[in-house]
Amino acid sequence: MEIKRRFSQKALEDFELIDKAVAGEEQAYARLMEKHRKSVYYTMLKLIRNVDDAEDLTIEAFTKAFKKLADFKKNYSFSTWLHKIASNNCIDFLRKKRLDTTSIDSQVKNDDGDTITIDIRDKSLDPQEKAIKSQKIEIIREFVNLLPSKYQKLVKLRYFKEYSYDEIAQELEAPLGTIKAQLHRARELLTDLVKKQKHFF
């Protein structure tokens, strides 16, 4: 009864879906993503201002959330928890990109009206850090070369040549959905390779 008083009907419906998902009901995952995907996507788009990156970050947010779903505590709404995961992922993304900005002043609100603000320190690289970064890029290139050939080409077009998803689809004459799915798989494989070689980093 206490939970019902504290949360909206939408949040309570999410709790039911989470219980079903944790119990192994695949449709519950799909329903959670259907309910919250647009909200997370537009939050990411407002912060990143790039359609492809916002789509990537949205997928990654749900992937991370679903992996941790069994640990979710009903102390706050799923929407608040999901947006926190998405915003943290966005911070990591921006730090890796090292954008030429010291902070993001834009404030966004999730479905529950909670305000999310992201502040990022501007950390310019000194010569030594630039050299280390250059070495790491070369190592990443070596890892990419270990991927199956079809994934190698996708990763090189996307991250080395900075093609958009649409440009990759045109280049390879493949459906856009296929390109996105294969790039997602390529990132997973690349992450696994890097994790096995942590001493490089």
Q: What is the domain range of residue 143?
A: 127-200
Please tell me whether residues 108 and 173 are part of one structural domain. Answer: no
- 4-13, 84-93, 156-165 — most confident range: 84-93
Please tell me whether residues 94 and 59 are part of one structural domain. Answer: yes
Average pLDDT, the chain: 77
Task: Return the pLDDT at 190.
Answer: 76
Rounded Cα–Cα distance for residues 86 and 29 (Å): 17
CATH number of the domain at 165, please: 1.10.10.10
Q: Do 197 and 168 meet the contact criterion of CB atoms below 8 Å apart? A: no
Which of residues 65, 86, 119 is at a domain's end? 119
> Once rounded to an integer, what is the mean pLDDT over residues 133-150?
69
Task: Return the pLDDT at 107.
Answer: 55
Sign of the dihedral through C-alpha 96, 98, 103, 107: negative
Which of residues 119, 136, 160 is at a domain's end? 119
On the question of pLDDT at 92 being above 60, the answer is yes
On the question of pLDDT at 159 being above 80, the answer is no
Q: How confident is the model at residue 6 (pLDDT cuts 50, 70, 90)?
A: confident
Domain count, the chain: 2
Q: How confident is the model at residue 75 (pLDDT cuts 50, 70, 90)?
A: confident
- Which residues does 68 contact at the CB level (< 8 Å), separation at least 6? 85
Burial 61-96 (b: 16+ CB within 10 A, else e): bbeebbeebeebebeebbbbbbbbbbbebbeebbee
Please tell me whether residues 78 and 112 are part of one structural domain. Answer: yes
> Once rounded to an integer, what is the mean pLDDT over residues 29-47?
89
Rounded Cα–Cα distance for residues 29 and 153 (Å): 31
Of the two residues 139 and 190, the one the predictor is more confident about is 190
Which of residues 97, 119, 141 is at a domain's end? 119
Q: How confident is the model at residue 15 (pLDDT cuts 50, 70, 90)?
A: very high
On the question of pLDDT at 129 being above 70, the answer is no
On the question of pLDDT at 103 being above 50, the answer is no
Please tell me whether residues 49 and 135 are part of one structural domain. Answer: no
Rounded Cα–Cα distance for residues 51 and 136 (Å): 27
H-run or E-run covering 87: helix 78-97
> Once rounded to an integer, what is the mean pLDDT over residues 10-20?
92
On the question of pLDDT at 89 being above 50, the answer is yes
- Which residues does 104 contact at the CB level (< 8 Å), separation at least 6? 47, 94, 117, 118, 119, 120
Output the pTM of the full model: 0.50
Q: How confident is the model at residue 189 (pLDDT cuts 50, 70, 90)?
A: confident
